[in-house]
């Protein structure tokens, strides 16, 4: 059973995002970024109540800016999706979840040690340069299902 409904164009969009945000962290890093995208589409809480599709997640605007830096700045996000990233995106959409991104709704590269919270949400763990944060269980139960 797939985690969220998707189309071929969703796979390509998500693959571009995963590459743009985490290509330097290898396939596992890209999978973790993909997992955060899927978690946001599944979450029915906080800033993600009305976000249900992959394009809605990727193009979401918060505080006047796109949620993802790669969309805001462009970099490789506007390059075509490659077959490797498409395979990873499909894997994440279908079933893949792993710590520290298993329940994470946020990640970022602080270029320093990971802070213990991010917007008052607890630190879940770190993979290479990215710090992952999951919601408090009592604020977003839908992520933990």
pLDDT tens-place string over residues 23-37:
999 999 999 999 999
Give the chain's domain count. 1
Task: Give me the pLDDT at residue 51, please.
Answer: 96
CA 81 to CA 18: how far, in whole Å?
Answer: 9
Q: Enumerate helices (H) and strands (E) in the chain, giving the number of each.
A: 5, 6
Q: Residue 144 — pLDDT band, cuts 50, 70, 90?
A: confident
Full-model pTM: 0.95
- What's the rounded mean pLDDT across residues 67-93? 90
C-alpha triplet 31, 100, 96: angle, nearest 5°: 40
Determine, yes or no, domain membership for 106: yes
Q: What is the CATH number of the domain that holds 37?
A: 1.10.10.2520
Among residues of the chain, what percentage have pLDDT more than 90? Answer: 81
Determine, yes or no, domain membership for 2: no
pLDDT digits (tens, 9 = 90+) for 60-76: 999 899 999 899 887 66
């Amino acid at each position: 059973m797939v985690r969220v409904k998707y189309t071929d164009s969703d796979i390509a969009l998500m693959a571009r995002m995963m590459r743009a945000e985490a290509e330097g962290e290898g396939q596992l890093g890209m999978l973790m970024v993909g997992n955060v995208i899927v978690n946001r589409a599944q979450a029915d809480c906080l800033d993600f109540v009305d976000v249900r599709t992959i394009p809605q997640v990727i193009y979401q605007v918060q505080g006047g800016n796109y949620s993802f830096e790669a969309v805001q700045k462009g970099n490789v996000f506007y390059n075509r999706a490659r077959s490797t990233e498409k395979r990873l995106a499909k894997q994440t959409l279908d079933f893949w979840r792993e710590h520290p991104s298993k329940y994470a709704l946020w990640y970022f590269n602080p270029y320093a040690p990971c802070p213990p919270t991010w917007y008052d949400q607890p630190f879940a763990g770190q993979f290479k340069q990215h710090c992952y944060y999951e919601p408090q269980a009592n604020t977003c139960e839908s992520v933990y299902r």
